[in-house]
Amino acid sequence: TGLSVEGTDTTHRTEYLHVDAAGHPLSPAYRVITTDRQGRYEIEKRIFTDPDGQALVIRTIIRALRGEITPYLLLEPHMANTGVGDSGSARYVSAGEMPNASDRRGVLQASEGDVHLALVADVPLLNRSVGFIGVSDGLTDLADGALDHRYLTTGDATGNIMLTAGLRPLRAGGQESRDFVIGFGNSAATAIGAADATFAAGLDEVLARFNGVGDHVGWEDYIASLDQLPRLAEQSTDGGRLAYASALMLKVQEDRTHAGALIASLSNPWGDTVDATNPSTGYKAVWPRDFYQVAMALLALGDTETPVAAFNYLPQVQVRADTPGNTGVTGWFLQKTHVDGEIEWVGVQLDQTAMPIMLGWKLWKAGLVSDAEITTMYGGMIKPAADFLVDGGQVGLLWNDRTITPPWTQQERWEEQEGYSPSTIAAVITGLTVAADIARAAGDPASAARYQAAADDYASKVEARMFTTNGEWGDGRYFVRITRNENPNDKAPIGENNGQPAHAEDRIIDGGFLELVRYGVRAPDAPSVTDTLPEYDDQTREDRFRVRYDVNGVPGFRRYGNDGYGEQTDTGENYGVGGQMHAGQRGRLWPFFTGERGHYELAALLARGEGDVSAIRQIYVRGMESFANAGLLLPEQAWDGVGDDTAHDYRIGQGTNSATPLAWTHAEYVKLLRSLADRAVWDTYAPVAQRFGAPVD
C-alpha cells in the first residue's frame, strides 16, 4: 500500500544482548527493535563485531504483523569519512572470490580509493541496485512502491551513493531471519574475504568470542576485571545498569590501533546536518581534557591497564621541538588531534597541559607507575609541561602565534574565550603542585620549588583575578566565568561566540568555580565559593543568562549564561546549520554538571563531618541516570524546554542531537559513584588540599 521507511515511519527500542542475572550489560552487543507506526511490521537487528576480523555483523528478524510486506535493505556508505567520491556495485561474485559460498552470491560493494566495504548476506540478494542519492538510488525509486530501475554499478562516476537489495515478501504472521555481514579492507577482495571469513567462523561463535563466553576472552572478561565496579554499582539508584554500561562505553572510547588513545565520543554532534563533503572528525579525536576524565574514570572502576596505556600515549600529543611545523615554545599539549597524533586544532588550553601531569601523579601514587617510570616520564613529558605552566611563551604552530603568560589561558575548558578562568586555574594550580611532588622524587628540588612557588602565587590571586564584588547579579559577589584581564570588577566584555553577542564579564556565570573545590584548591565552605552558589543556582533570571534548570526534580545546568552551542530557539534547527552561526542558537543542559554539583555537595557534606550520602544519591546519582537514553548512553546535552522543540519534538531532559555517548558524561557518573563509595572526592589531590586548606581524608 506504499513505502514505509525504517526510522522515519517507525518507533524503536534498544536492548543489550548479553546481560547478567541482574540485567547488567556485559558487552556492547545490542539489539534494536523497530516497529512500524501503523503496526504492519517489526524489525529486530542484533549488532556486534567480529573481534578477530574487520567485519560488522547484523542479524535480522523481519516480522509481518499485518498485510503483506516486501522488505528492502538500504545501505548508504560514507567511505573514507566523506559522503562523496564513492563508487559502488551490486554484482555477483564468483566462487573464487567467496570460497565459502555454496552458490553465486550477490554482494553490495562500495569504495573510495583504497577504502572498501562489502555487504554479504546468508541468502542471495534480490533486486540489487546501486545509485546516486536523490537521482537513481533505491529509496528514490521505491517512492511508488516498486524498484523499477536496477543498476549494477556506478561505472566511472563517483558521488553520494546508496546500495539497495530486495528480500522475499512476507504475509501477515510470517517472519524471516536474515544475516548480513559488512566486511572492510583495502581492496574489494579483502573486504569480501573479511565478511566471508566471519560467516565461515559461524555467527554464534563470533558473538561468543565478542562477549567472552566460556573459554573465549572478550568483553565479559573485561567487565569481570573491574574489581571496583560492583562496589560502585551499589551506589547507583538503577540497580547498577548504567554503571556497567558506562564501563563498556568508556572502554569503547579507546582506539584499537593506538593503545591508550582515548577519544571524546564516537559521534559527530548534530551529525544529520554536518557537511559530509569533506572528512569530519567530530568528537572522534583526542582532547587531553576529555582524555583525563576517561582515564580517571577507568582507574576508578579498577582498570589498572588502560589508564597506564593512556599515560604512556600522551607524549604523542605534546608539543616538542620536532613537532611538525612547530617554531615556538614547547611543553604544552595540543588542543585536539587524531588518534595517531596528527594535529587538528592548536589553541592553547592550560588545563589540558596540567591534566596529563595530574593523571601521572595519580597513577604513581596508586602504584601503577613505578618510581623509575615516573622519573623517566618527568624528564620527557612532565617537566616540559610544568615549565610551560610557569613560563608560557610564544606559540608557533599553524595559525597560532600568541604569547601565553600563565595563568592567563588562550582558551578555557569550553575552547571559546581567553583570559583567567576558575576551572583552568584550578587545574593549573593542581598540576604544578603535584609536578613539584614528582620533581622532588625525581631529584630536581630546584624545579620543585619553582613549580610550587608558581602554584602558590596563582592560588593567592584566585579571588582577586576572578571574583567580582560589584557584579550585576544578586549581591554582586561571585566568580565570573572568565575575565580577560586581572580585574573582575571593571565590567569589561568577553568575546562573542557561537552567534551570541559579547557581554560584560560579570553577566556570565558558569560552574567552573566548583573545580577549585574538586581538586582541593578551595574548601567547600570558602566564602568565595558559597557566595557564588546562589547566583549559579538562580532560576529566576532571564533565559539568556540563566544557567540552572531543574528537570523533574533533577538539578540541570547549562555550560554558562549566554551559551550558543545548541539548537536554535527560533527555528528549531540544529547548531551551526550551513556552517554558519545563528543568533537564535542556545546551549542546553549538560548532564555531567549534575555530577559536578554532586561532587561539590559531597565535599561540603564531608567538610561538615557528616556521613549520610543518601540525599546525594537520590538527587545527583539518580539525576544523572535520568538523562540516559534507552540504550543507557549519556548525552552531551539535554533539552531544557526553551524555544522551538525542533523536528525531534524533544521532551524536557531528553538527550538532544548533540554528541552521544559523551565519554566525559559517563566518566563523571562513574567518578561520582566512586566518590560516594569512598566517602572522598575521587579527583581531590592530597598535596593540593593540604597546602591550600581544603579538608582531606
What pLDDT is recorded for position 697?
45
What pLDDT is recorded for position 104?
56
What pLDDT is recorded for position 368?
98
What DSSP string runs through 166-235? E---B-TT-EEEEEEEEEEESSHHHHHHHHHHHHHH-HHHHHHHHHT-TT--SHHHHHHH-TTHHHHHTT
The 10-16 sheet, strands edge to edge: 10-16, 30-36, 41-49, 55-64, 175-185, 115-121, 108-112, 87-89
| CA dihedral sign of residues 243, 250, 219, 299 | negative
What pLDDT is recorded for position 326?
98
Whether 272 contacts 577, CB under 8 Å: no
- pLDDT, averaged per 10 consecutive residues of the chain (697 residues), comes to 92 97 98 97 98 97 96 96 95 72 76 97 91 96 92 96 96 96 97 96 98 97 98 98 98 96 96 88 96 98 98 98 98 98 98 98 98 98 99 98 98 98 98 98 98 98 98 98 97 96 97 98 98 98 98 96 97 93 97 98 97 97 97 98 92 96 98 98 97 68
Of 428, 438, 442, 359, the residue nearest 392 (C-alpha): 428
- Within 10 angstroms of residue 384's Cβ, the number of other Cβ atoms is 21
- Report yes or no on whether pTM surpasses 0.85: yes
Cα atoms found within 13 Å of the Cα of residue 192, Cβ hemisphere only: 21
Residue type, 433: T
Length of the chain in residues, anyone? 697
Phi, psi (degrees; rounded to nearest 5) at 57: -105, 130
What pLDDT is recorded for position 100?
65
What pLDDT is recorded for position 72?
96
